[in-house]
Amino acid sequence: MNKILVTGGAGYIGSHTVVELMNSWYEVVIVDNFSNSNPGSIDGIERIIGRRPVLVEADCSDYSQMHELFKKHSDIAGVIHFAALKAVGESVEKPLEYYRNNILSIINLLSLLREFGGKHFVFSSSCTVYGQPDVLPVTEQSPLKPAMSPYGNTKKVGEDIIRDTVLASANISAIALRYFNPIGAHPSSEIGELPLGKPDNLVPFITQTAAGIRPKLQIFGNDYNSPDGTAIRDYFHVVDLAKAHVLALDRLFKGSNKSNFEVFNVGAGQGVTVLEIVKAFEKVSGKKLNYEIVGRRAGDIEKVWADTSLAEKELGWKVKSSLEDALLTAWNWEKKVRGI
């Protein structure tokens, strides 16, 4: 019983996690509807590990499609649930699409896990649930703040649905990982982040600018209370994040979890400004980046970084890669995709 359903496994974090799972002892079934990815990432996974994961093209928010999948793979022991829409700004314009996609998917997966006897559930949550924390770094005990967007709210409500469900069905145990800012790509450059259209996130915007696809990076605000005035986040390597999922799943399989619903912060534990990221990128890529300072972006917080001591103590997880490594892999991936 080592079969794991990885929803959104063709996406950015999902594809990196599938590599780590298949390099461990797990058998993987990916479900993805390719709303924000394409089957090229499955080819990349196969080139990295020499084996191809099973792929089912289906929509997690569609109960009948997911029921079919569980009927066919009735030995699914656990689910890692990445599949979600994640564009913060778009979620403000299309709240119902976000709630339908992200919330129905969680409900369907938990229902089917229960119905078919699967036991383990790992959920992609986000540091967005903390809003702007009053005290830094944030621990898992820090108060949650009202979400700034429908997207952020799907993470808060998602955690609530999972907590209530596992309390009511003792057979299922869950771990929510609250990611901070994953960046970078697999060192092989076979998989990485491939945003459709104009990137919302900082690092893909930087690499696309360096690749000449965007004329310049706009830095949103230099009047924050930080050493250089730009906002602070906790950036860390996506391969380290992928490994955290394997450790979380191992914990559930071993039964070493301390309660049926646990939450862990996953980040580097260090705050870095936007300008520091730009400087570090310039150093590792050897390219001068064209940028300008513009006004703050609506809905942005000033600063956040994680206290990751709980993940270290309980999961035995800690970031291994440096910021520079992560930025270099992001750049190598961008160059490969663009044929530079």
Chosen residue from 15, 102, 128, 142 binding ligand WQD by CB under 6 A: 128
27 binds ligand WQD per the rule CB under 6 A: no
274 binds ligand WQD per the rule CB under 6 A: yes
Round to whole Å and give the CA distance between 332 and 223.
32
Round to whole Å and give the CA distance between 208 and 219.
14
Q: Which is nearer to ligand WQD, 200 or 250 (CB)?
A: 200
Which of ligand WQD, ligand NAD, none does residue 219 bind to, with CB < 5 to 8 Å depending on kind? ligand WQD
Under DSSP, is residue 13 helix (H, G, I), strand (E, B) or coil? Answer: helix
Question: Catalytic one among 151, 179, 224, 235?
Answer: 151
Rounded to a whole number of angstroms, the minimum distance from the CB of residue 255 to ligand NAD is 26
Round to whole Å and give the CA distance between 14 and 99.
21
Residue nearest to ligand NAD (CB): 11
Q: Are 33 and 60 in contact (CB under 8 A)?
A: yes
Rounded to a whole number of angstroms, the minimum distance from the CB of residue 241 to ligand WQD is 12
Rounded to a whole number of angstroms, the minimum distance from the CB of residue 203 to ligand WQD is 7
Question: Given its phi and psi angles, is residue 51 left (phi above 0), alpha (psi -120 to 50 degrees) or beta?
Answer: beta
186 binds ligand WQD per the rule CB under 6 A: no
Which of ligand NAD, ligand WQD, none does residue 200 bind to, with CB < 5 to 8 Å depending on kind? ligand WQD
Which of ligand NAD, ligand WQD, none does residue 37 bind to, with CB < 5 to 8 Å depending on kind? ligand NAD
Give 101's DSSP letter.
I
Which of 285, 280, 291, 288 minimizes the C-alpha distance to 217? 291
73 binds ligand WQD per the rule CB under 6 A: no
The tokens describing 301, both together, are: 């917080």
Q: How many residues lie near ligand WQD (CB under 6 A)?
A: 19
Chosen residue from 100, 163, 297, 318 binding ligand WQD by CB under 6 A: 297
Which of 213, 332, 326, 215 minimizes the C-alpha distance to 277? 326
Location of structure tokens 């950015």: 12
Chosen residue from 49, 117, 195, 220 binding ligand WQD by CB under 6 A: 220
**Residue 130 falls in the annotated catalytic set:** no
* C-alpha distance from residue 123 to each of 6, 50, 82, 160 (Å): 10, 27, 7, 11
Provide the angle, in degrees to the nearest 10, between the axes of the packed helices 238-254 and 12-23: 50
88 binds ligand WQD per the rule CB under 6 A: yes
Q: Which residues bind ligand WQD (CB under 6 A)?
A: 86, 88, 126, 128, 152, 181, 200-202, 205, 217-220, 231, 233, 274, 297, 300
